[in-house]
Structure 1
């Protein structure tokens, strides 16, 4: 059962207090009137009676009781009708008052959603709250302080990633250049050439590792600039580079970073090619489902248990939950795919393929659909 909102609960509280107060007031008024009616009638008869007549006989007592009963009944019935009408009006008035009181909280909620989605100014946005220094103002100030600290932390992380990109890639590029010079020089021995080739392989492996880590870090920061991108074009380009058939592609337009989306498709296709059996199957397809762009990559290969699928999306993990060693790949491919998909407001899922292998499906919001990160 869906719970009532705070606004509805406050409205019901306001209306309940009003109705209880109205019922008490009506009861007290009825009691006072019922006590005053006999006295008024008795006094009237006392003044009009002769000294020889008794001031109050049995007939007059019956008349007094009838008048009191009629007055009380009329007062209660009309008072109840008026109380119901005014109670209904109090519900509407309470709804407006509660909405006005909760308006600052709505501003806090909208700002928090924009910050969570990375839309607008991102973590540089603050809540501007005018008015007295009350509880809501204290909440807004505490929220702004928290966002300011998070903004400083993320800025430091971004600077660290940029510095690491430069500091790590520069020495590797120099090592690659020195090894190439040593191998290509005249008079280089066969052992020197073989050693240089091995060093180049190790150096390229380290460059791929650093590139994967930086891509993973960049994709987790969120996507700030988005442009229309057709996954069919990207899939066709990557399939041509890898020599993979690409016959099942159809228009699948989304909005995002073209470079990161190309890396997503490239990682999926390379993962399907590398973790396959000889002369195995690789199927790539794109389509539009509803308003979402869907990319599916399936391959043959070893049988993957259901309980092992989630571990494949963890960094530096491969099948059977083993840490990656000196073999092929680093176990970052699917981790990067999930991070990029989430950064674009989408999702990625994988299921075992019948006969072995995996079927990986990426679902991204269409160009006219606000992703959960952008929704306000």
Structure 2
């Protein structure tokens, strides 16, 4: 497939072609005018009047000698005219064409430089749009602005319009995040009150078995709503870039999470296997713990129920310096085309789980948001025989800058 020419190259070629065509036309017109003027000059200066004068001055000659002399002069004049025309062709057409080609090459080079300067603002617009599009999440790059300075022309108008559009999108996403966070905070209070009232009604001495059973159902629904709200809060927080980062070894996080989920894994009759190799990174320790916890809990809850299920958690540093956390598990078969859907909020393979499950449908969405907020990514693939293998990639730990204390030992 041929690579299309850039706009700069096309403008340069058009400019150079127009210059060459105009130069050749100018040479052609100049030659025609010169040829016409040369013909008129020879006709006026060496026409019939000159021949008559020769005839008068040559009265002492014989008629044959006069005619011979006139023919010789005429041939000499014609030869001079031909030589002059040949010199004009050489000078105007050949040398002029060479000159036009040379100057045209210089014009093409100058056109390339000028078109580059003219298109430089467009390159800036393109570069900004590319940075926004390459952001891990759409709203992450919306703080970028072109802020083009210069005369008010078509390019600046385009840049200003682009900045206005991005600013409105930025405000829209920011307002959406604030709404989710504020709504989640406001919903926590009534849910806490509901739980307290239900527990109070259940623990009365006069409470009937039906009231206690109803209370247990209400508490389960209330707990599911609390998990949903907590997940929304965490998701809203994770969608912001992590500014304050501290050293975190994912091996420690993995070990802590495995011990934390031991009771749940035992209740689900699932074996959790740990391979915690050193994997130092920088980030928010609480969010990274939530990333690993969500992956492990997802592997435990969506597993087989025949007692043979397992979850394997591995942390390591891979080639290139990146650190990874990989969680693989047995479980139901996952179609490859449904894997990406699992990372979207409230998306499940089985719609019934949304109502009766223990999670709120935000686990993998939070995992992806946390990874992206730390400058990493998440990749998932179905396992042969059922289950998933999910790997979170995170950047390696940056060395901490040495602090100068002012003591002599700092100087070595």
Look up the SS of the partner of 2:318 in the other structure.
strand
Rounded Cα–Cα distance in structure 1 between residues aligned with 2:108 and 2:256 = 62
- Helix, strand or coil for the counterpart of 1:246? strand
Residue pair 2:242, 2:373 contacting (<8 A) in 1 also: no
> Larger deviation: 74-83 or 207-216?
74-83
Which secondary structure does the structure 1 equivalent of 2:356 belong to?
A: coil
Counterpart contact for 1:161–1:214, Cα < 8 Å: yes
Aligned-pair distance for 1:182? 6.0
Q: Distance in 2 between the 1:361 and 1:122 partners? A: 25
Deviation of 1:114 after TM superposition, in Å, equals 5.3
Cross-structure match for 1:335: 365
Q: Give the match for residue 65 of structure 2.
A: none
Q: Pick the aligned partner of 1:283 from 312, 325, 337.
A: 312
Q: CA RMSD in A?
A: 3.7
Q: Does 1:25 align with 2:26?
A: yes
Q: 1:61 to 1:305 in 2, by over 3 A?
A: same
Q: What is the TM-score of this pair, normalised by structure 2? A: 0.74
Q: Which residue of 2 aligns with 1:100?
A: 117
Report the CA distance shift for 1:168/1:96 in structure 2 as closer, same or farther (over 3 A). Answer: same
Contact kept in structure 2, 1:230 and 1:251, CA below 8 Å: yes
* Superposition pairs of residues 1-376 of structure 1, within 5 angstroms: 1-37=2-38, 51-52=54-55, 54=70, 57-113=74-130, 117=135, 123=142, 126-179=145-198, 191=209, 198-219=217-238, 221-223=239-241, 225=243, 227=245, 229-243=248-262, 244-247=272-275, 249-251=277-279, 253=281, 256-277=283-304, 278-286=307-315, 287-320=317-350, 324-344=354-374, 346-365=376-395
2:25 aligned counterpart, secondary structure: helix
Q: What is residue 373 of structure 1 aligned with on the other side?
A: none
Cα shift readout 1:68-96 (whole Å, capped 9, x = no counterpart): 12331243332232222222222221122
Alpha-carbon distance change, 354 to 181 in structure 1, aligned in 2, over 3 angstroms: same
> Which secondary structure state, in structure 2, belongs to the residue aligned with residue 51 of structure 1?
helix
Secondary structure at 1:57 match in 2? helix
SS in 1 for 2:314: strand
Task: Please report how far the alpha carbon of residue 105 of structure 1 lies from its aligned counterpart in structure 2 after TM superposition.
Answer: 2.3
CA distance in 2, matches of 1:310, 1:231: 25
Q: What stretches of structure 2 of length at least 5 have no aligned partner? A: 56-68, 263-271, 399-412
- Cα distance in structure 2, aligned partners of 1:310 and 1:216: 18
Higher RCO structure, 1 or 2 (CA under 8 Å, sep 6+): 1
* Cα distance per residue 1:132-156 (max 9 Å; x no partner): 4322232233223323432332332
Q: How many residues align?
A: 365
Q: Is the 8 A contact 1:292 1:364 kept in 2?
A: yes
Helix, strand or coil for the counterpart of 1:325?
A: helix
Gaps of 5+ in 1: 369-376
